[in-house]
Amino acid sequence: MALSDVMGHPQRRLLCSVLLINAMILTAGCAGLGKGITEAIISRGQEEAQPLGCEIRGQAFTGLENYMFRQDALPPLGTFNGERPALKVLMVHGIGTHQPGYALELAENLAKAMDLDVTAENTKDLTLLSPSPEEFAAVPKYHPDPIDWPDELGTLRLYRYWNKAGTRELLFYELTWSPISEPEKTTLIYDSSGEYEYRRANINQQLKEFVNNYTVDPLIYAGNLREPIQASVGQSICWMFNTKWSDFPHGTAARCSDFASAGMDMEDDYVMMSHSLGSRIVLDALNRMAKLLTYLPDIEGIRKAWQEREIPIFMLSNQLPLLQLGRGPPEIANQTAEYCKPTGNHYAKRYFRETRFVAFSDPNDILSYGIPPSFEEEFIDSRICPRLINVLVNVAPAQDLFGLGELANPLAAHDGYKRDERVIALITRGIGTTAAAPVVKENCKWMETRPVEKAP
């Protein structure tokens, strides 16, 4: 007999509300409070879990290992006469307070998937500084008033991985920008203080802590700290573009000029990754850096270097549609063909050859959204030449709740991408290529899309 058969409608609603509250508490990271109720329902055994889904919609794309193939053809590290190309990946986190090291599990899973089984004993940490007054003065038309900028823009940590043969190298740059938003959250301290907390029911207090620490970050980003957060990503890109492991500064504070961020080592390969709110931040930061090209003295040479680059972006728990609300269209929209095709009238004015967005979302993640096909044209600047691939993947299994319905753990659905074998395989080996991983071919459905003009 199902539980729903012995419970009235109000009782079922109450139980569902309790389950939802516990799920939200888990999302907040307060597992202890909801453990008793939640474990009795969610941890009922994998035999009752629904099969994990995986659907990919978009054009074929290569993964990180494609760049490793180029390295495989060169002499090993330490024997190469000159600068050996490296694969450089930048990770940008989303909502909530983060500490350096948050992306270690993701970095190591990617490294393992590419047979990189050696790592540097220590990491390298750099405190990012705000632009100097001279930099602000150099571009007064673009930079806002710098008075309210924080002195520091977060921490950039560098991990290094390679294989025993010395033929492959990955430099993984992890940006922690949340120190920028932390001071703003002090406005809400009284709400969680002993003076006020005792007036609130304990479960409601846990939910309030979740709101105060996590959901306020999009509001903060929409305010006057948007530019410093974007600059934090811009400086991280600058350091990624201009440093190898050997010359990356460690244990100090430094800045990388906005102007220098436009230059890049053309021998290296660059990939960006984001989680949650980080998807919006990365897109905005790229647009910001591209606009800075207009202030450079050697604009033509640098612009042409960028225009020949493909920028892959893997967005975990993507939130672009949510964070587009209230923003309006970009400066140039609905003109991708004009800017991105060699026959287009504005082809010479494009920012990149292509910006490839691989957007991962779990349908059961309450903070993640799939991207509709029209979003690419309507809400992404045409000059970055966007190409969108949607990946709908259930990283958390849905389980039956005694006949009341199905529920997937929201925490696992929001944060489980970094340990999902299919997600790691798609990032490292892509889809629709000879390098595609068996786990993807066997467990994911791929619906290939083609431009109208290329359809038979």
pLDDT digits (tens, 9 = 90+) for 285-314: 888 877 776 666 555 666 777 788 888 999
Q: Give the pLDDT confidence of 105-127 residue by residue, as tens digits.
A: 999 999 999 999 999 999 999 99
Alpha-carbon separation of residue 354 from 142, 306, 374, 382, 386 (angstroms): 25, 10, 17, 10, 6
Distance CA 414, CA 363 (A): 10
Nearest CA among 386, 354, 355, 361 for reference residue 373: 386
Q: How confident is the model at residue 334 (pLDDT cuts 50, 70, 90)?
A: very high
Q: What does the mean pLDDT of the chain come to?
A: 81
So what's the pLDDT on residue 187? 77
State yes or no: pLDDT of 258 exceeds 60. Answer: no
* Phi, psi of 430, deg, nearest 5: 70, -160
So what's the pLDDT on residue 158? 98
DSSP state, 254?
E
Contacts of residue 247, Cβ cutoff 8 Å, sequence gap at least 6: none
3-state secondary structure 323-363: HHCCCCCCCCCCCHHHHHCCCCCCHHHCCCCEEEEEEEECC
Residue 251, both tokens: 């244990």
Residue 373, both tokens: 């096909």
Distance CA 69, CA 53 (A): 30
> Helix (H, G, I), strand (E, B), or coil: what is residue 18?
helix
Higher pLDDT, 210 or 315: 315
Residue 6, both tokens: 């012995």
Mean pLDDT of 246-257: 90
Distance CA 19, CA 319 (A): 25
Q: Give the pLDDT confidence of 142-186 residue by residue, as tens digits.
A: 555 555 788 999 999 999 999 999 999 999 999 999 999 988 887
State yes or no: pLDDT of 450 exceeds 70. Answer: yes
**Do residues 341 and 454 touch, judged by C-beta distance below 8 A?**
no
Residue 241, both tokens: 């573009």
Distance CA 273, CA 174 (A): 10
What does the DSSP assignment read for 66-119?
HHHHHHHTSPPTTT-SSPPP-EEEEEE--SS---TTTTHHHHHHHHHHTT--EE
State yes or no: pLDDT of 26 exceeds 90. Answer: no
* Phi, psi of 309, deg, nearest 5: -95, 140
What does the DSSP assignment read for 391-416?
EEE-SS-EEE-TTS-EEE-HHHHHHG
Alpha carbon dihedral 426, 427, 429, 432, in 10-degree steps, equals 50
Q: Give the pLDDT confidence of 188-245 residue by residue, as tens digits.
A: 777 666 676 767 777 777 777 777 677 788 888 888 888 899 989 989 998 998 888 9
Look up the pTM and report it. Answer: 0.85
In the chain, domain spans: 53-181+225-454
State percent of the chain over pLDDT 90: 41
Q: Give the pLDDT confidence of 261-282 residue by residue, as tens digits.
A: 555 566 889 999 999 999 999 9
So what's the pLDDT on residue 415? 87
**Do residues 364 and 332 touch, judged by C-beta distance below 8 A?**
no
So what's the pLDDT on residue 308? 83
